[in-house]
Chain A
Amino acid sequence: MNLTKLVQKRSNWVAPYVLFLVLFVVLPLLLIAVYAFRNPAGQFTVQNFVKFATQSEALSTFVYSVGIAIITTLLCILLGYPAAYILASSQFNRSRTMVLLFILPMWINVLMRSLATVALFDFLHLPLGEGALIFGLVYDFLPFMIYPIYNTIQKIDKSYIEAARDLGATNRQVFTRVIWPLSIPGIISGIMMVFLPTISTFAISEILTLNNKRLFGSIIQDNMMMSDTMNYGAALSLIMLVIIAITSAVSGDDSDLSEGGLI
């Protein structure tokens, strides 16, 4: 009897998911923190963080990854925004197929795409390394930048643009005063989809540089794989989590990602 009452109230329907979130999202993240402050014997220590701060390797890889991620993100915006804009404007493009063609690579396995990039570079006799890495990252993540921007531009109410025109705005003004500001949530979603994954990628950089240039994700993964260094790996993951928190805070506290055209 009580149970039926509980089920009748629709807000209670969230209960299974909340339980699931606690068990498989929140608890695991807390475990990262627990492991990060432990040594392999299970005692409390801050040694892992001291090691990160004093060991040149992890720190320099970290800085390097952030640098590569910034470059990749900027290139994605630079290349992706015009593409998204053209795709979304009825003046230039009316075909949905064109949009699909830009999203299609997302459905091909990311490792397969990276290996394809290696094949391309080998085919053209270009050396693998930093250049290949940046090309590969932009190539892998560009669709994730184009799609949200395209979505937000498309959702812009056309009457705003018409109103601006009626009030005498030039094309340029329409863009800088109306379209650009309204598409910023899309850019932010795009940055979230590109910047963080780039820092934490491991397989892609291994494949594209023959393990020569390592990103932060590789270091985390290396350390997680071995028992001696698993706690250090957890500490590095915790640092990554902090970066995530900062990035999300920077990109605005409105927590509704659907506004950014992600879906």
Chain B
Amino acid sequence: MLLFTAALAAVPFISAKADDDRAHILKVYNWADYIDEDLIPEFEQWYKENTGEEVHVLYQTFDINEVMLTKIETGHEDYDVVCPSEYIIERMLKNDLLLPLDRNFGSVPDYTVNVSPFAVEKFDEMSASGRRASDYAVGFMWGTTGIMYNKAFVKKEEAQTWGILWDPKYEGKILMKDAVRDVYGSLMMYIRQDEIRSGRVTRQHVMNDASDASLKIFEDTMLCAKKNFAGWEVDFGKERMVQGKAWANITWSGDAMWALDEVGDEIDLDYVVPVEGSNVWFDGWVIPKYAKNVKAANWFINFMCTSENAIRNMDAIGYVSVIGTPEVLAYKIDESLDETVDLTYFFGEGADSVKVNSIQYPDAKTIERCALMHDAGNRTEAMLDMWSRIKGDSLHSATIIIIGLVIAVIIVFAVMKALGKNKKAKRRANAKKTSSRR
């Protein structure tokens, strides 16, 4: 008893102690593999130098947007800075889950102005409930969704279309990204390509149309493609591509870049954004309503926006920073490349034909066929249900029947056994009665 009361008494004590420390802790919740981890201790030091305050970063990662959202929306977890995708930011704005940013850093410059106007403009499309998105969010990384493929098994022409998913040649060889929104939006552009080409619908509409009809077409089409899937991945696809264990991977540009950097000489990988279109996405830093260290959170966001830190993050993770300064452009130009890309949309005038890696910075033409995702609102659940139906459907009806029969037999057996026991017990009871009567 003593022991137990002691244990219970310890609970408030420990949490009280934690509260005391909280002012010096910054809880960062970011995508897995999404930062140069050396920057974390450097931030702690930089923060101390400029504000005189100690801060310790608690760094945690997630790999599915919706999981992160749940922790904040339902769990009211007190993360100080999180890095969701744009459509989640829209939803968080709608549901009043964010705090506005404070861009006043005293003598330290506001580095958030380094973000390319292109990214700011895209973020502002996410404004909701009368809140301008760029007042609440600062971009971090951006990219496209496309197909990474192993050149030994897949030809470029084949990878240039989403149609590869239905090509019987690739049975069990394609890894699918477990990200419903990205895959849904991109593949709907393939499914409805005729309508888009004839101008009857816009790409933006196709990507975000979550009507029952649209969901149904997608589900049916995807089920036909399922034979080709080697598996569903959130993070391990790049790893298996590098090992040469899968032929193609529906993935994000940054993962592809990471794999291309990592892969040995014996395997040759490439990445394309299919011609039918795809999605362009942006992840950004926001401060949730339940944050407890708002000041350090703002400073952390600012720290991530210097050109130097943007370049270091890019080098570490393969994704592309939204920072659009000349320094970043100068660093990214690689004269050894053959092709040039038009990046005026991102770096402004003078970047109309620069030698920059086109997986990281897609050409203006590629961007034209990409659309932005929006929060699906109350259709989210229907969409998630549809997605788990596609993932979960791994049964043939014959197997169901056989398994059902086995289960039935077991239940019958169990019932008979239980009845038998009862009978036995009754018999025993009867026997006792008779014996006592005697």
Instruction: Report which A residues bind B (CB closer than 8 A).
Output: 7, 15-16, 19-20, 55-58, 60-61, 63-64, 66-67, 70, 122, 127-128, 209-214, 219, 222, 225-230, 246, 249-250
Contact = CB atoms under 8 A, between A and B. Distances in A.
B74 A230 contact: yes
A131 to B, nearest CB: 13
B381 A228 contact: yes
Nearest to B415: A250
B109 interface: no
Contacts of B417: 250
Given A211-B391, A213-B394, A64 B67 contact: no
A239 B416 CA distance: 23
Interface string B365-389: 0000000000000001100110011
B70 interface: yes
B198 interface: no
Given A64-B394, A210-B232, 6 more contacts: A15-B1, A63-B407, A64-B400, A127-B172, A214-B391, A250-B414
A16 B4 contact: yes
B216 interface: no
B263 interface: no
Contacts of A230: 70, 74
Interface residues of B, number: 46
Contact of A20 (B4, B175, B231, B236): B4
B394 A214 contact: yes
A70 B410 CA distance: 10
Contact of B399 (A7, A67, A210): A67
A128 B236 CA distance: 14
Interface in B169-189: 172, 175, 178
Given A20-B4, A210-B233, A57 B389 contact: yes
Mostly, the A contact residues are helix
Contacts of B243: 122
B11 interface: no
Contacts of A67: 399, 402-403, 406
B233 A211 contact: yes
Contacts of B66: 225-226, 228
A55 B388 CA distance: 10
Contacts of A209: 231
A135 B233 CA distance: 22
B52 interface: no
B10 interface: no
Nearest to B5: A16
A70 B384 contact: no
A60 B175 contact: no
A56 B396 CA distance: 12
B423 interface: no
B70 A211 contact: no
B414 A210 contact: no
A70 B406 contact: yes
B231 A226 contact: no
Contacts of B381: 228-229
A127 B64 CA distance: 27
Nearest to A230: B74
B378 to A, nearest CB: 10
Contacts of B406: 67, 70
Contacts of A64: 394-395, 399-400, 403
Contacts of B240: 210
Contacts of A61: 392, 394
Contact of A227 (B73, B231, B233, B400): B73
Mostly, the B contact residues are helix
Interface string B395-429: 10001101110110011001001100000000000
Nearest to A60: B395
Nearest to B404: A63
Contacts of B233: 210-211
B393 interface: yes
Nearest to B231: A210
A57 B410 CA distance: 23
B395 A210 contact: no
16 contacts: A7-B1, A15-B1, A16-B3, A20-B4, A56-B393, A57-B392, A70-B406, A211-B232, A211-B233, A211-B391, A214-B392, A219-B392, A225-B64, A225-B66, A228-B384, A250-B414
B395 A63 contact: yes
Contacts of A19: 4
B399 A212 contact: no
B356 to A, nearest CB: 34
Given A67-B399, A249-B414, A229 B389 contact: no
A232 to B, nearest CB: 9
B71 to A, nearest CB: 8
B310 to A, nearest CB: 31
Interface in B53-93: 64, 66-67, 69-70, 73-75
Given A19-B4, A55-B385, A211-B233, A227 B74 contact: yes
A50 to B, nearest CB: 13
A226 B232 CA distance: 18
Contacts of A222: 388
B170 to A, nearest CB: 14
B388 A63 contact: no
B31 interface: no
B250 to A, nearest CB: 13
A144 to B, nearest CB: 20
B111 interface: no
B8 to A, nearest CB: 9
A57 B384 CA distance: 12
B314 interface: no
A170 B393 CA distance: 52
Nearest to A3: B1
Most buried by B among A7, A60, A70, A122: A60
A16 to B, nearest CB: 4
A114 to B, nearest CB: 14
A212 B395 contact: no
A26 to B, nearest CB: 16
B40 interface: no
B245 to A, nearest CB: 7
Contact of A60 (B69, B245, B385, B392): B392
